[in-house]
């Protein structure tokens, strides 16, 4: 029995580098578009450049391959024409399972879509999966915001998520790389990460120390661990005058950060008896969401023109 190829080996075999239209005709015949349903050879498919899912569970992939051997592929993949070949938009996992099942062709719906539409379709397909990794989800949202300049409300509307869920997901990208890696590998959950974000004002070593302990703790116990650390290590008032906060205000600061889905800093001026609140926004659409929530109106602002987004 031949040894099974490793994922990187059969991925290279299955989805070869993209080729151009001046090459010999494809095995599938003339390239077709317009929501047509075709049987496309696996060798004619190119990988999805907008794919944000970085890992697949081999056990579930084998189970899907067994099902395909028995019943065939019940749901067509979605592709588009790019550089004279077919580029996968949705269904890359099904393509890989078809390869394992020994199929030569797959049923596919061919769509005529732009780069932006292809990216959105890929993200939406991934977000519909219950087992999507939190870091993959966060990077997908960030890509839509950065590359295609979608606002928070637009991302939320197109993906079926709430604006706060989108914002909270993207906050995971503020975590140190080592913590992000543990989330990616399933050692920490999104709930653990949310608790660790309360340490954003402290040295990175503090978050890493708590993250090491959190791998063996529940989310609730991680929250207690972080709260205890904040109690034992208040921000040094000599470094930032007035930054020391009594426990109740620290709790209020954390709660406001969670509700507003952004960084909130409270300063208590003991001499004047005044409290100042600073709200930080990662980008314009976060501010736009809060402005709309507080005023009931949409923010009127001009966005810079897009560059280099012409469809091929």
85/32 Cα distance (integer angstroms): 10
Give strand pairing partners of 258.
Answer: none
Q: With CA atoms as reference, report the closest residue to 50 among 18, 85, 15, 87.
A: 87
DSSP 199: G
Tally Cβ neighbours within 10 Å of residue 40.
Answer: 26
143/50 Cα distance (integer angstroms): 9
Q: With CA atoms as reference, report the closest residue to 251 among 238, 266, 272, 262.
A: 266
Which residues are tagged catalytic? 92
Outline where DSSP puts E strands in 74-188: 77-82, 85-90, 105-110
- Pairing between strand 36-41 and 105-110? antiparallel
């Amino acid at each position: 029995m031949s040894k099974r190829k490793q994922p990187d080996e059969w991925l290279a075999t299955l989805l070869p580098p993209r080729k151009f239209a001046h090459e010999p005709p494809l095995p599938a015949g003339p390239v077709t578009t317009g929501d047509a349903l075709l049987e496309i050879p696996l060798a004619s498919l190119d990988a999805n450049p907008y794919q944000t899912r970085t890992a697949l569970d081999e056990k579930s992939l084998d189970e899907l391959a067994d099902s395909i051997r028995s019943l065939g592929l019940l749901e067509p993949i979605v592709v588009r024409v790019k550089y004279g070949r077919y580029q996968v938009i949705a269904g890359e996992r099904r393509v890989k399972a078809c390869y394992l099942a020994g199929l030569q062709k797959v049923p596919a719906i061919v769509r005529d879509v732009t780069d932006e539409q292809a990216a959105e379709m890929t993200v939406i397909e991934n977000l519909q999966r219950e087992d999507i990794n939190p870091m993959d989800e966060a990077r997908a949202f960030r890509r839509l915001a950065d590359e295609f300049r979608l606002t928070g409300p637009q991302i939320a509307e197109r993906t079926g998520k709430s604006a706060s869920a989108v914002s909270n997901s993207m906050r995971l990208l503020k975590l140190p790389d080592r913590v992000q890696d543990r989330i990616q590998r399933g050692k920490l959950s999104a709930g653990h990460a949310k608790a660790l974000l309360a340490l954003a004002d402290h040295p990175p070593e503090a978050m890493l120390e708590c993250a090491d302990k959190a791998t063996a703790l529940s989310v609730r116990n991680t929250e207690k661990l972080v709260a205890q650390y904040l109690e034992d290590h208040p921000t040094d008032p000599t470094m930032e005058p007035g930054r020391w906060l009594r426990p109740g205000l620290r709790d209020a600061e954390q709660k406001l950060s969670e509700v507003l889905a952004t960084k909130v800093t409270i300063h208590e001026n003991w001499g004047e008896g005044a409290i100042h609140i600073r709200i930080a926004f990662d980008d314009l659409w976060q501010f736009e969401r809060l402005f709309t929530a507080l005023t009931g109106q949409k923010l009127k602002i001009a966005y810079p023109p897009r560059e280099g987004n012409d469809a091929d």
